[in-house]
């Protein structure tokens, strides 16, 4: 048996050759979730012109200074500003112009009296109190000045960013695309869900699991097929998927079994290395380059595939997508016993609960690595360091496998 490579060492090796995908121009209405490649600044002041913050009347503050309920000032109504139109009337001394919320502030005016605070009489607008300069006026550039950074590079575009970019006039952005991940499942025993498995067969599940994991990691999954334990079929599926993929993820067939097809597919080349990594589950792993694109061979056992994905594939996809590749661990207090492995870091499904601001991790009870049902009830994977049994109350760290 070859010596085990630690997970950290393996991750370093895997990530060494991974680079961010080339940014693409993405229409703003499709840009949600993309990573902005370069910062974007305001190309003009926001808002672009001074406007009224209220439905009211634009006037000169100086005209209102002496106004009171006892001695109202009456200003002549000189016109009305319409939404979306330039303010055509100038506000001279003694004049007022009606202006709606967001309407352009007419030249000459420096304050807006809200409709509620004044009256209309035959002679014009009746003002019963002073309105200081700038009152109810939104100056141009109040939100952002031309040239100021609107959204920084590396930002994952979310609702507020998209709104701000649209407000600044951007209809598309330069963003790092989502890595397209071709997922291939291997195994003579596999049938598609919806088909009745014959004796000795099982339903193929990894491509669905991996599809979800890829999406969650910000990638674009492409289920590229379920193939038998035949090296030629594996290579054919990968080759067919290659034009529409940035990275390959294959499950099954990477260990030492006689029929392991992925191992046999790459036996005569050194493009892909097969290693034993010190994680449990998830020991046999393959990584390399195929047709110029990163290739991951994950163990077939679904729980092992999940662990391998989280530890090695997810960081790679993050780098390709321009995202932070660090695994985000939840610090938690363990609510059960977890036995360590002598030579591996172990990952065990746990449920998470909150006690105040503390996260509690409850082992699911079912510990065998092929148990998808245990995973479906879990919120995360608790990490058990090599040769360190964890007792109730121990601090541990958990990789979340579901959000919220
Ligand atoms: P392998 O890594 O090919 O030796 O497979 C290890 C275990 O995982 C076997 O019990 C397989 O039946 C199972 N397995 C492999 N691939 C899949 C898959 N795509 N869906 C469900 N189970 C799988
Ligand atoms: Mg197999």
Q: How is the chain split into domains, by residue range?
A: 7-21+177-320, 24-46+142-176, 51-138, 329-400
CATH T-level fold of 329-400? Beta-clip (2.40.340)
What's the average model confidence in pLDDT over 115-140? 92
What ligand is nearest to the CA atom of residue 256?
Answer: 1
Return mean pLDDT, the chain: 93
Helix (H) or strand (E) holding 333: strand 329-334
Superfamily of domain 51-138: Molybdopterin biosynthesis moea protein, domain 3. (2.170.190.11)
The answer to whether 75 and 123 have CB atoms below 8 angstroms apart is: no
Give the model confidence (pLDDT) of 210-233 as tens digits. Answer: 999 999 999 999 999 899 999 999
| pLDDT for 369 | 46
Whether omega for the bond prior to residue 160 falls within 30 degrees of 0, making it cis, is no
Closest ligand (CA of 205): 1
For the whole prediction, is pTM greater than 0.75? Answer: yes
Q: Mean per-residue pLDDT for 130-159?
A: 94
Atom of ligand 1 nearest to the CA of 186: 16
Please name which ligand lies nearest the alpha carbon of 274.
Answer: 1
CB under 6 Å to ligand 1: residues?
185, 187, 189-190, 202, 204-206, 251-253, 255, 257, 299-302
Residue 371: pLDDT over 80: no
> Of the candidates 247, 250, 281, which has an alpha carbon nearest to the alpha carbon of residue 263?
250
Nearest protein CA to atom 8 of ligand 1, as residue = 301
| pLDDT tens digit sequence for 66-102 | 999 999 999 999 999 999 999 988 999 999 999 999 9
Residue 27: its H or E element: strand 24-27
**From 3.40.50.11540, 3.90.105.10, 1.10.1200.30, 3.40.50.620, which CATH number describes the 24-46+142-176 domain?**
3.90.105.10
Neighbouring C-alpha atoms within 13 Å toward the C-beta of 125: 28
Q: What distance in angstroms lies between residue 401's CA and the mean position of ligand 2's atoms?
A: 24
Q: What is the mean pLDDT of residues 323-330?
A: 92
| Closest residue to atom 14 of ligand 1, CA basis | 300
The whole-angstrom separation of Cα 106 and Cα 190 is 73
Which residues make up the environment of ion ligand 2, defined by Cβ < 5 Å?
187, 252-253, 300
Residues 148/41, Cβ–Cβ less than 8 Å:
yes
* Gap from CA of 369 to ligand 1 centroid (Å): 11
In sequence order, the 6+-apart residues with CB closer than 8 A to the CB of 10 are 275, 277, 285, 287, 312
Q: How far apart are CA 339 and CA 330, in angstroms?
A: 20
Residue 151: CA atoms inside 13 Å, Cβ hemisphere, count?
25
Task: State the Cα–Cα distance between residues 196 and 71, nearest whole angstrom.
Answer: 90
State the DSSP string of 173-192. Answer: EEEEPPPEEEEEEE-TTEE-
Average pLDDT over residues 192-209: 96
Ligand 1 atom showing the smallest separation from residue 204 Cα? 20
Residue nearest atom 10 in ligand 1 by C-alpha distance: 301
Topology annotation, domain 7-21+177-320: Molybdenum Cofactor Biosythetic Enzyme; Chain A (3.40.980)
């Amino acid at each position: 048996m070859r010596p085990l490579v630690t997970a950290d060492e393996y991750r370093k090796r895997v990530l060494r050759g991974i680079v961010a995908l080339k940014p693409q121009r993405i229409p703003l209405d499709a840009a949600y979730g993309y990573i902005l490649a370069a910062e974007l600044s305001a190309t003009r002041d926001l808002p672009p012109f001074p406007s009224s913050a209220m439905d009211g009347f634009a006037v000169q503050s100086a005209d209102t200074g002496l106004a009171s309920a006892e001695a109202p000032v009456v200003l002549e109504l000189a016109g009305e500003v319409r939404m979306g139109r330039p303010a055509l009337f100038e506000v001279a001394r003694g004049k007022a112009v009606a202006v709606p919320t967001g309407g352009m502030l007419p030249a000459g005016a420096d304050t807006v009296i809200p409709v509620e605070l004044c009256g209309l009489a035959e002679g014009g607008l009746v003002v019963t109190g002073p309105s200081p300069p700038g009152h109810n006026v939104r100056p141009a550039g109040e939100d952002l000045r031309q040239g100021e950074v609107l959204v920084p590079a590396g930002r994952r575009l979310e609702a507020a960013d998209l709104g701000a970019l649209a407000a600044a006039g951007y209809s598309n952005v330069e963003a790092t695309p989502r890595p397209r991940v071709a997922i291939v499942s291997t195994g003579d025993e596999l049938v598609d869900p919806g088909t009745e498995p014959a004796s000795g067969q099982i339903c193929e599940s990894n491509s669905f699991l991996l599809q979800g994991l890829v999406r969650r990691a910000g990638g674009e999954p492409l289920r590229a097929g379920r193939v038998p334990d035949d090296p030629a079929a594996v290579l054919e599926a990968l080759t067919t998927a290659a034009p529409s993929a940035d990275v390959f993820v294959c499950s099954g067939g990477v260990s030492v079994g006689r029929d392991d097809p992925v191992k046999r597919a790459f036996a005569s080349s050194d493009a892909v290395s097969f290693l034993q990594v010190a994680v449990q589950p998830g020991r046999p792993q393959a990584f390399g380059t195929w047709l110029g694109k990163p290739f991951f061979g994950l163990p077939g056992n679904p729980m092992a595939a999940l662990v391998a994905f989280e530890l090695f594939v997810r960081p790679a996809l993050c780098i390709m997508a321009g995202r932070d590749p660090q695994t985000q661990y939840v610090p938690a207090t363990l609510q059960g016993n977890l036995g360590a492995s002598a030579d591996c870091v172990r990952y065990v499904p746990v449920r998470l609960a909150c006690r105040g601001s503390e996260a509690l991790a409850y082992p699911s009870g079912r510990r065998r690595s092929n148990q998808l049902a245990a995973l479906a009830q879990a919120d995360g994977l608790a990490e058990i360091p090599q040769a360190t049994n964890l007792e109730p109350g121990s601090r541990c760290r958990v990789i979340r496998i579901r959000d919220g």
